[in-house]
Chains A and B, each alone.
Chain A
Amino acid sequence: MSKSINLKLQVWRQENEETSGDFHYYSMNEVPVDISFLEMLDILNENLTKEGVEPVSFDSDCREGICGTCGFVINGIAHGPQAKTTVCQLHMRHFNDGDTLVIEPFRATPFKIVRDLVVDRGSFDKIIQAGGYVSINTGNGPDANSILIGKDDAEEAFDSAACIGCGACVASCPNASAALFTSAKISHLLQLPQGKVEERARVKSMVDKMDEEGFGACSNHGECEAVCPKGISIKNIANMRRSLIKSIVK
């Protein structure tokens, strides 16, 4: 029999964007410490369903920490207290018996609340549509390895590409800035020869889109890097800024 803990949950509940939400309080008894946070919420929802209460809505898909679908804020920290971990991979052993957990959705003006903990991160898609791609005009994709890329460059680009688009960076930023997400996408392509071609147009239009969607400016709090489940570095934000300066100067 594995260890279990008792918890008090304070969960944000909101019908939709138009209505105003509030906190609901639930007690969770004998939560096994080996289950994930989302599994704990699954148990809560089963209990609520039995009581005839509408279950708490939250997003998830892979539950392996790779898709970027899940995410909410636990006690003021996006994806909870464990560094480099999504809530689906966060296990209950990181909490103590008797803890009160305040669970809130990712809050940012561009992220409209769909229901409870589910938010619409469509603004990220719009930022990608504004330039987060490499144009191929015709024919098949080029053969693999037809363009050789040094190991260091490939590694750097891959580090940036690791972003799963979860939105925790925006959620944790005091300014609700999307600088980490946007810069990860820009840097990823910037560090590869295929992406260099459209660098100037890309950085300008992605940054403009980020502003247009209503995200804040980056004040270098660096809270994003600390909560990012993929440990995306604020180095990417510096890359984006240099790239933007280059696009203006040249």
Chain B
Amino acid sequence: MTSFIKVSSVLKKIIIAVTGISLFLFLIVHLLGNITIFTGSPPGRDFNAYAHFLESFGILFTIAELGLLGFFGLHIITALYTNLVNFKSRKSRYAVSSFAGGKSKKTVASTSMVITGVVVMAFLIWHVLQFRLGPYYETIYSSVNNGEPVRDLYRLITEEFSSIWVVLGYTISLTLLSLHLGHGFWSSFQSLGIYGKTFTRITYSVSYLLGLIISLGFLVIPLYIFWIN
């Protein structure tokens, strides 16, 4: 533990950035996989087939899941520890604080990374309990798994997303996630020392848009399922 604390603040940010951008890539893959919710007949066939395809990797799938968990853990611990130090760096607070504007990239999103992060963490725990570790329904498709039973995740999501409270919880969490990604995307390049006049201008100007697109992409699912029910 002491050796972790001794890692310099710059290196800690590099850890946050590497894990953050990896989680970002994971979100994109996850989102692309979710497109299967909208295809196939009967509804849910493609989605359940995709989930079954992933699980069929067996031990490799478990390793990937544990790796993902590790990245989350590293990201969260390093980010929370760093922000604890940051908090202590100004013991007496300003009476007035402001936004300087101009070249500043300080935003509501950049100053609330801990808050959006912690809400996203709570959301992720809920999300995993709801689906990955949720009730196990089975179904049979003649064209999937040689006609043997597969997990019916589609039934689970239709059940869960029929509740307005669940949909509301997802809406709030995903909105906060969009802010987290909005500052996080461009920031991770800067944390890794990747700066260029044009490069930084471009990554910064698409950052918040990307965050919004990813969040909206995920949000379409609960809204769609709620709508068709």
Interface residue ranges, A against B (CB under 8 Å): 12, 23, 73, 75-78, 83, 102, 104, 107-110, 172, 174-177, 179, 204, 207-208, 210-211, 214-223, 225-227, 231, 234-235, 237-245, 248
Contacts and interface: CB of A to CB of B under 8 A. Distances in A.
Interface of B: 8-14, 82-83, 85-106, 110-111, 113, 183, 186-187, 190-195, 197, 200
5 contacts: A102-B96, A108-B90, A208-B8, A219-B13, A235-B195
B10 A110 contact: no
Contacts of B83: 175
Contact of A215 (B14, B89, B104): B89
Contacts of A227: 100, 104
B100 to A, nearest CB: 4
Contacts of B85: 216-217
A246 B106 CA distance: 28
Q: Which of A109, A220, A223, A239 has the most CB of B within 10 A?
A: A220
B90 A225 contact: no
Contacts of B197: 235
Given A73-B94, A217-B10, A241-B10, A177 B193 contact: no
A235 B190 CA distance: 8
A106 to B, nearest CB: 10
Contacts of B98: 75-77
Contacts, number: 144
B10 A240 contact: yes
Given A75-B98, A223-B106, A226-B102, 12 more contacts: A73-B96, A76-B94, A83-B102, A172-B100, A176-B90, A217-B86, A218-B10, A219-B187, A222-B104, A241-B13, A241-B14, A245-B14
Given A75-B96, A207-B9, A221-B111, A238 B194 contact: yes
B86 A175 contact: yes
Contacts of A172: 100
Contacts of B95: 12, 23, 102, 104
Contacts of B187: 219-220
Contacts of B86: 174-177, 216-217, 219
Q: Which of B12, B90, B200 has the most CB of A within 10 A?
A: B90
B65 to A, nearest CB: 29
Contact of B190 (A102, A174, A177, A238): A238
Nearest to B186: A220
